[in-house]
Homo-oligomer: A and B are copies of this chain.
Amino acid sequence: MSSQAPERPPVGGEECCPPLTRGELDLDDAERWARAFKALGDPTRLRLLSLIAAAPGGEACICDLTGPVGLAQPTVSHHMKQLVESGLAEREQRGRWAFYRVVEDALTSLGDVIRP
């Protein structure tokens, strides 16, 4: 999965997401959503998302994320890569630094999946 570049994010950007508890999930949906939930299944990644969302303008430079989570930049980059690949964050390179935003639509879609 690490070098995959999907054409569209695994979650968000589509019209619907029937709740998990409304009927039997098909395998494709289950795999797509599981990837996104797995990306959220780590305390550091949850904290990174909350830090980015709380940053001015909803955008954070990786240089401002390493300190609060107490991890080196390659480790933070690796976590952010998983969030970007699962469609939960967006990355923009500006000169030397990468900047990240939370993809709120993807979080909303994922929230809709699990709300009964």
Interface residues in chain A, defined as those with a beta carbon under 8 Å from any beta carbon in chain B: 20-25, 27, 30-31, 33-35, 37-47, 49-51, 53-54, 68, 102, 104, 107-108, 110-116
Contacts and interface: CB of A to CB of B under 8 A. Distances in A.
Contact of A50 (B24, B46, B53): B24
| Identical copies of this chain, number | 2
The 5 closest A-B CB pairs, nearest first, are A38-B41, A21-B53, A30-B43, A37-B40, A111-B115
Nearest to A86: B41
Nearest to A51: B24
Contacts of A41: 34-35, 37-41
Nearest to A25: B50
A71 to B, nearest CB: 13
